[in-house]
Amino acid sequence: MKTFVLGDRGLPAQIAGEIGRRITLGELKVGEILPKESEFLTSLRVSRTTLREALKILSTKGFIEAKPRLGTRVRSPEFWNTLDPVVLAWQGGADDQDALAEELFEIRSAVEPLAAGLAARRGSAAEYAQIRAAFSHMTEEHATAEAAIEADISFHLQIFQAAHNRFLLPVSSVIRAALTISIPKTLKTFGGLQHSLKMHEAIIDAIEARDETRASEAATLLISATYQRNFSLGGGDTP
C-alpha cells in the first residue's frame, strides 16, 4: 500500500496525483463511477477532508464530474486540462510514453516557430539579453544532466516570454514536458548539447535582428532536427 508523505505539494495534491495517474493509466476508466468515499478512505489512508480536497483538484483539472444521486464519474480526455503542468506530470507513468512524447512534439512544432517570430517582432532589448544569457548558459559545461536540461528549457521559455502572447504562455508547459523527455535522449546519444548549439544560436541571432521570418524558420529547423533524432529510424545520426 502506498504511503503518502506531507511535503511542499501538500497531501491533497499528492492524493489527487495518485487518483489522476490511475485515470490516465486507465485503471479508473472514462465514464466509470469512482469508488465510494469509504473505500477511498480505507485504501488511501487519509482523512475525509483531505480526500474531498483532492477530488476538488481533480474536478478543476476536468478529470471528474459529480452528479447528484449518480455519484462522481471519470470524464473523457477532451475535458482534461492537458496543458496543465500538474496534469502532464500525472501522465508520466502512462504506457504510451512514446506516443505522448510525439504528440508533445507535434504541438511544439506548431507553436514554437510562432513564438520565435513574435519574440523577434515584440521582444524588448532586456528580454533579448535574457535569451542570450540563457543561450550562453547552454554553452557551459554542466555538472549534471538536470542542469543541462534546465539550461535548454530556460532558453526556450525565455522566447515564449518575449513573444508577449498571453495565450502562448500556458503552452510553455508543453515545451518543458517535451524537452524533459527529449534532452536525456540527446545527452545519452551526444554526451551534451554542443551538437545543437548552432541551431539555437541561429534563433537568438534572428530574434535580435528582429527578423521574424528567419527566427521562425530557425526554430522550425531546430524542432525538425530534434524530432528526427527522437522519433525517426536512424535519427541518432542527425547532426
Distance CA 190, CA 184 (A): 10
Distance CA 119, CA 127 (A): 9
3-class secondary structure, 65: strand
- pLDDT of 57 > 50? The answer is yes
pTM, entire model: 0.73
> Pairing state of beta strands 71-74 and 64-67?
antiparallel
Distances in whole angstroms, Cα of residue 88 to Cα of each of 16, 105, 171, 189: 13, 14, 12, 25
Distance CA 214, CA 218 (A): 6
**Per-residue pLDDT, 5:** 47
- pLDDT of 8 > 50? The answer is no
For the segment 115-170, what is each residue's pLDDT rounded down to a tens digit?
999 999 999 999 999 999 999 999 988 778 788 888 899 999 999 999 999 999 88
- Average model confidence (pLDDT) for the chain? 85
* Percent of the chain whose pLDDT exceeds 90: 51
**DSSP-H helix ranges across 45-191:** 48-60, 85-90, 97-122, 125-138, 145-163, 172-190
What is the grid cell recorded at 19? 487518483
- pLDDT of 64 > 90? The answer is yes
Confidence grade of residue 6 (pLDDT, cut at 50, 70, 90): very low
Give Cα 185 to chain centroid, integer Å. Answer: 16
Confidence grade of residue 98 (pLDDT, cut at 50, 70, 90): confident
Residue length of the chain: 239
* Percent of the chain whose pLDDT exceeds 70: 86
Domains defined along the chain, listed by start: 11-81 (1.10.10.10), 96-237 (1.20.120.530)
Numbers of helices and strands, H then E, in the chain: 10, 2
